[in-house]
Amino acid sequence: MAVGKITFTKTEREKLAEVLWLLNWISVVTGAILFGLGLFLKIEIQKWQEVMSEQGILYVPHMLITTGLAACGINYVGSKICLDCADTNKFLRWKLVMMPYIVCTFFFTACVLAGALMCYSIRSQLEEALYLGLRNTMRFYKDTDTPGRCYLKKTLDLLQIQFQCCGNTDYRDWFQIQWISSRYLDMTNSAVVDRVRSNVEGKYLMDSVPFSCCSTLSSRPCIQHNLSNPGAHAHYDEQSQQLNLWRRGCQQALLDHYTGTMQSIGLTVLLIWLFELLVLTGVRYLQTAMENVIRLGDPDSESEGWILENSLAETACYNFSIIKTLGKCYQVDDDPNINVPTAAADQEAPSAQVQVNVTS
């Protein structure tokens, strides 16, 4: 039994073809939107590429860009096909192309859905990439004279100022690393020397943060040194909200930023997928209705269209049997050299014939 069977008159088939022509052109626009969303997401990720540990998350914008370009091409061809399918004679030119076109459109629609799901499933991977990337960037913050790392200080300062964040998870992360270059340390000062020697790794650690951690919303001058010593500052309470540093870590700030962006893009891509699914369904109805008109031989008669000619179970079994048959076609049961005569066999055949004649 056919799935989704609908009967179409000649007028309804023509109207369906015209509507699908218009929808395919709209789909070309949605393909351009997909391409633009992918390009925008790629640019957003590359803005803070230096603070990420891996570039594997770029597969999401690349997927959207590729799918968007494919959408423009496939739906442009589809608009031409649907316009010609309003006429039975013109449909004959596209009859053999229709099924491959529908299969390609089906896989393309599946890719759009995959792109939408990727936007929602990348959060955990993005979270880990940001944590490791920020940790390494903070470690190299002091290397302003090292080629390949000299720009990291500026990048991290801009990040903390723009996103109003400090450290990886919070401002205390700066206490665990030496973020001041050794060339700016006064090694003639005994306090500095004692601090360096007190660390097993020989690092100059202190309870202070870079200037970019200072909150612009605080009414008092920024306190960025001796943060663990309340007695070093007047009217200072480390645990209260008077601490004039950004409270949020940069990992969470960037994660919230990218998550919000990807969720918005994912919702848009999901709506585009539903629209493409509608177009695909309409094209399938048009194809089956026009093929049935050709079988009937009367262009003005009514014809039936469907999504699947048989039930889902029957269609699956039929396709499985086709795949199984194709697999058997490539199996070689016999040795190709079995029927090929050899030189030894040619020599034995006459001698055997002579022996038979002698005994007889």
pLDDT given for residue 82 in this prediction = 87
More confident residue, 106 or 233: 106
Q: Residue 254 and residue 252: Cα distance in Å, rounded?
A: 6
Q: Indicate if the alpha-carbon torsion angle 345, 347, 348, 350 is positive or negative.
A: positive
Average pLDDT over residues 23-32: 94
Q: Which residues pair with 308 in a beta bridge?
A: 3
Angle (CA) 345-349-355 rounded to 5° is: 140
pLDDT at residue 247 tops 80:
yes
pLDDT at residue 51 tops 80:
yes
Q: Which residues pair with 245 in a beta bridge?
A: 214
pLDDT given for residue 328 in this prediction = 63
pLDDT given for residue 10 in this prediction = 85
pLDDT given for residue 271 in this prediction = 95
Task: Give the residue from 196, 198, 200 showing the smallest Cα distance to 188.
Answer: 196
pLDDT at residue 286 tops 70:
yes
pLDDT given for residue 20 in this prediction = 92
pLDDT given for residue 76 in this prediction = 93
Average pLDDT over residues 348-357: 46
pLDDT given for residue 324 in this prediction = 65
pLDDT band at 232 (very low <50, low <70, confident <90, very high): low
Q: What is the pTM of this model?
A: 0.76
Residues constituting the chain = 360
Q: Which residues pair with 254 in a beta bridge?
A: none
pLDDT at residue 319 tops 70:
no
Nearby residues of 344 by Cβ (< 8 Å), 6 or more positions away: none
pLDDT band at 90 (very low <50, low <70, confident <90, very high): confident
More confident residue, 33 or 98: 33
Stretch among 222-236, 263-277, 328-342 having the lowest mean pLDDT: 328-342
